[in-house]
A and B are shown apart, each in its own frame.
Chain A
Amino acid sequence: MIVEGNDLLPGSPDAIWDLLMDPDVLAKAMPGTRSLERVAPDRYEGVMRVGIGPITAAEFELTIALSEVQRPERYAMHIDSKGKFGFTRGLARVELVPGETGTVMRYSADLQVGGKIAALGQRLLESVSKLMLRQGLAALQQELQSRLGGTAA
């Protein structure tokens, strides 16, 4: 499954970069994240709980490893999550491009979902990922605005 898009964020690439590396901000951008810690400069670990409709609180252990880090332009995240109900793994690329009124964040992720959740919920995977992406981006916008005091266009 491929998820991609772009979003205008308030602030300069440098300021946004620092916040995107902050585990508290990153956790906001991933709905359902219960805890997220930066265990090494390029590695985060945490726990996510995802519940949609009839599915109550499937818990996943989450690991994110950064690579190809070129501050403040681009980085890649290797995402690995597993739980009782299945797993997700994949690679997400983030690119920050300075714009006139802020910074454009371009993102693309190629994710594989497997296990019970994929077998039973296959028809819903894309809708659920789109929903989580929308919620995550909205939360990220809000967090960046409150921290940078800017306004999004």
Chain B
Amino acid sequence: MKPSRFAYYRPDSVEEALALLAEHDDAKPLAGGQSLIPAMNFRLAAPAALVDLGALSGLRGVSRAGDGLRIGAMTTHATVERSPEVARIAPLLAEALPHVAHPQIRNRGTLGGSLAHADPAAELPAVMLALEAELVLRSVQAERRVAARDFFTGLFATALEPGELVTAIELAALPARTGVAFEEFARRHGDFALVGVAAVVTLDASGRCGEVRIALLSVGDGPVLAERAAAALRGQQPNPELLRDAAELAGDEDIDPPADLHASAAYRRQLARVLTRRALIRAVERARV
């Protein structure tokens, strides 16, 4: 399959890229091209122009930002996956990345591209929600920061305005006594997950749950925070029954999953219960160490 005709630009600076996007109404930014190019080859997408961000080396790389991390939007999944800083400071991200598609795709696909695409079955949006990441967005006019919670607005929909680019993702360091875990189930490793869960649990000095964030993927229009499940844990001493009950809430009340050929809505709810329980057990264990 071949795409329909399009103009191609490969700017050398972010400013130039933003100017091109502002100038061309029907231009799409090209990051790793792991979703956009197949869509174009199937002719499901036919942008009049592509603005290739591949030469913008300033948008690549992982660096320290205070106690936390700043990851350039054009950093590939593979680079993030192998980064010792990510493993130390954002272990949830490191744990989730091997589930993102296949190694070949992770070699080209980028963090910013995946977040801007906002596929409801993608791992990284849920991870960003669980980590309360901040996205740095830039347009010709201004730079602004948007919390992950406000960034994902619906099915393949984000807070990005036309002509705006994700330039970086910032992650704060996790507080002491925090454990994280990522779980997902896919029919084959690398397929779109039927359900996935990212969990972050912080315990207080007495071992009770403090801050808890549970983000699920592939159960709605975008990543979904399991608010009721998290509320059931806060202030409580975690034990197997409590974690199981919270996980049941996540599957029963926090989500309204869609059905497709691969999984019915009822099956997705059951997966959400089971995977949330597993993720919570592991996150609490890790928080105790």
Contacts and interface: CB of A to CB of B under 8 A. Distances in A.
Interface of A: 52-56, 58, 84-85, 116-117, 120-128, 130-131
Nearest to B261: A122
A85 B43 CA distance: 9
B44 A85 contact: yes
B55 interface: no
Interface of B: 35-36, 39, 42-47, 117-121, 154-157, 192, 220-221, 258-262
Contacts of A126: 258-260
Contact of B157 (A53, A55, A121): A53
A54 B35 contact: yes
B163 to A, nearest CB: 16
B121 A54 contact: no
Contacts of A122: 260-261
Given A54-B45, A131-B221, A123 B121 contact: yes
Contacts of B258: 126-127, 130
A2 B117 CA distance: 28
B154 A131 contact: yes
Given A56-B47, A123-B261, A127-B221, 9 more contacts: A53-B117, A53-B156, A56-B45, A117-B44, A122-B260, A124-B155, A126-B259, A127-B220, A130-B258
A55 B39 contact: yes
Nearest to B120: A127
Nearest to B265: A126
Given A53-B117, A122-B260, A58 B155 contact: no
- 6 closest pairs, A vs B, by CB? A53-B156, A126-B258, A54-B39, A123-B260, A55-B44, A127-B258
A51 to B, nearest CB: 9
A123 B44 contact: no
Contacts of B44: 54-56, 58, 85, 116-117, 120-121
Contacts of B46: 56
7 contacts: A53-B118, A54-B156, A58-B44, A116-B42, A123-B192, A123-B262, A126-B258
B221 A54 contact: no
A135 to B, nearest CB: 10
A71 to B, nearest CB: 35
Contacts of A116: 42, 44
A128 B155 contact: yes
A54 B259 CA distance: 21
A120 B1 CA distance: 14
Contact of A53 (B121, B155, B259, B262): B155
A136 to B, nearest CB: 15
A5 to B, nearest CB: 13
A38 to B, nearest CB: 31
B136 to A, nearest CB: 22
B7 to A, nearest CB: 15
Contacts of A124: 120, 155, 260
A131 B117 CA distance: 17
A53 B121 CA distance: 13
A71 B35 CA distance: 48
